[in-house]
Amino acid sequence: MNTSIGIGVLGAGTVGGTLITRLVEDRAAIAAKTGLDLRVLRVGVRDLGKERSFSLEYGSVTGDLQSIVDDPDIDLVVELMGGRELAGDLVLAALEAGKPVVTANKELVASRGPELIAAAERSGVPLLFEAAVGGGIPIIRPLSETLAGEPIDRVLGIVNGTTNFILTRMADDGADYADALAEAQELGYAEPDPTADVSGADAAAKAAILASLAFGTWVGIDDVYHEGIETLSPIDMAFAADFGYVVKLVGIAERTGGGVSTRVHPVMIPTAHPLASIRGATNAIFIEGPSVGELLFAGPGAGGDPTATAVLGDVIDAARETLAGAQVSSRIRFSPGELVPFGDVPTKWYLRLEVDDQPGVLAQVASAFGDAGVSIKSVWQEGEGSEALLLIVTHRAPEAAQRAAVDHLRKVKPLRNVASIIRVESEEP
């Protein structure tokens, strides 16, 4: 029986280079374990002049990306180049040509997922993307297969290793944001341009995928509200610790009475919550359901090795399906559902206000919240003299009402600055 699978790889960056090296160097070991002869025939790159971390025993590196999709000797396409348009068009062409596709491209899946899943279904070939969320953490299969019958209530995810590393350094060592980011870049956790990570955009794409799989309702990347960590300060980390919380950038997807809500932003998490102990560049995904209770998936979330491991697992799975020769039916289905605007979602806020230390300030602040229909749970004052810090935690209220309260606050004359706003995750109202 022929067990040979010709592989074409689109993209040879950190993850692509690691995957190719493993496929070449571990070819015999993979064959011994799986019975598959996986051969990298061609690699497509956008910059032929760039030095690569791998060497091919056979095959070639080309700048003609479409030629890899069109090559009749290539049985399976691996897309690791990133982006929506070019990568998406190449993946679509491969699927329409009847070739299985494996991708780690979260932006592509979160933006063009239904189109690509439908193309795979029509051709009867697999489209696999385990590595698109959480690096080496297995989460796509558990959500789409193991938990397919579970009416999941909520998913919370620390799904960006760069931001989790930065926030850990700020919380544990008092490092400021700029220094922690520079260290993350030196260690290879952050790109030279870290915007996608620190702005929350990367986590938003992953949260969209998690929400879509968890609830069976398509949530696109543009449907996910996101905030980043650029404005956070070590002083907020210290105050959070005093109150019994840890600050994390979290993707939250939940089923509400009105539909599915998905967002990404910094959150104060109680220290007793399983996500509070996730440190460094580790990722973790916490799932709540009525039958399974609480599940935690955690592991390395950044770097070429863990992500390449997840890609390789998908390659092996797709190769087995290909050799079996049967039409593959998609494991993923979406049904119509409502998406809840973030403004309608009840949230609880922590605010750090810089105010003039004078009589009547608290009354004016309380009035601003009351005018917006937001109740204050607790107030602390720090400092004395001409300027003071007010630390406020609100009760739950619609996000839009919380924002309206801040708009009212900005009209309070003793207010100098709304220095920080962080949402609070707790079971209390």
DSSP string for residues in 110-122: HHHHHHHHHHHHH
User: How many Å apart are CA 408 and CA 141, to the nearest integer?
Assistant: 46
pLDDT of residue 57: 64
For residues 238 and 342, what is the distance between their CA atoms, to the nearest angstrom? 28
The proportion of the chain whose per-residue pLDDT surpasses 90, expressed as a percent, equals 81
318-371 tens-digit pLDDT: 999 999 887 776 778 788 889 999 999 999 999 999 999 888 888 999 999 999
Residue 238 has what pLDDT?
95
The pLDDT assigned to 331 comes to: 74
Identify residue 26 by its one-letter amino acid code: D
* pLDDT tens readout for residues 157-197: 999 999 999 999 999 999 999 999 999 999 888 888 999 99
First to last CA, the chain: 63
Q: What is the pLDDT of residue 58?
A: 60
How far apart (Å, rounded) are the C-alpha atoms in residues 99 and 41?
Answer: 15
Q: How far is CA 415 from CA 309, 357, 409, in A?
A: 52, 10, 7
Q: What mean pLDDT comes out for the span 243-271?
A: 96
Architecture of domain 4-135+304-324: 3-Layer(aba) Sandwich (3.40)
Averaged pLDDT for residues 292-297: 96
* Position 255 confidence tier, pLDDT thresholds 50, 70, 90: very high
- Over residues 41-61, the pLDDT tens digits come to 999 998 887 878 777 766 689
The domain 148-299 belongs to what CATH superfamily?
Dihydrodipicolinate Reductase; domain 2 (3.30.360.10)
> What 3-state class would DSSP assign to 312?
helix
Q: Quick one: which of 418, 423, 365 has its CA closest to 396?
A: 423
pLDDT at 56: 75
Q: Which two tokens stand for residue 268?
A: 């104060």
- What letter represents residue 340's amino acid? V
Chain position carrying tokens 């590393």 = 165
The candidate with the shortest Cα–Cα distance to 58, out of 42, 80, 76, is: 42
Domains of the chain by residue range: 4-135+304-324, 148-299, 343-424
The dihedral sign for the CA sequence 371, 372, 378, 381: negative
pLDDT of residue 29: 96
Task: Please indicate, yes or no, whether the overall pTM of this predicted structure exceeds 0.75.
Answer: yes
Q: What is the pLDDT of residue 32?
A: 96
3-state class (DSSP) for residue 137: coil
Q: Active-site residues: which are they?
A: 206
Q: How high does pLDDT run on average in the chain?
A: 92
- Of 2.60.40.3880, 3.30.70.260, 3.20.20.70, 3.30.70.2190, which CATH number belongs to 343-424? 3.30.70.260
Amino acid (1-letter code) at residue 309: T
Going by pLDDT thresholds of 50, 70 and 90, the confidence category of residue 113 is very high
Give the helix/strand (H/E) hosting 107. helix 106-123
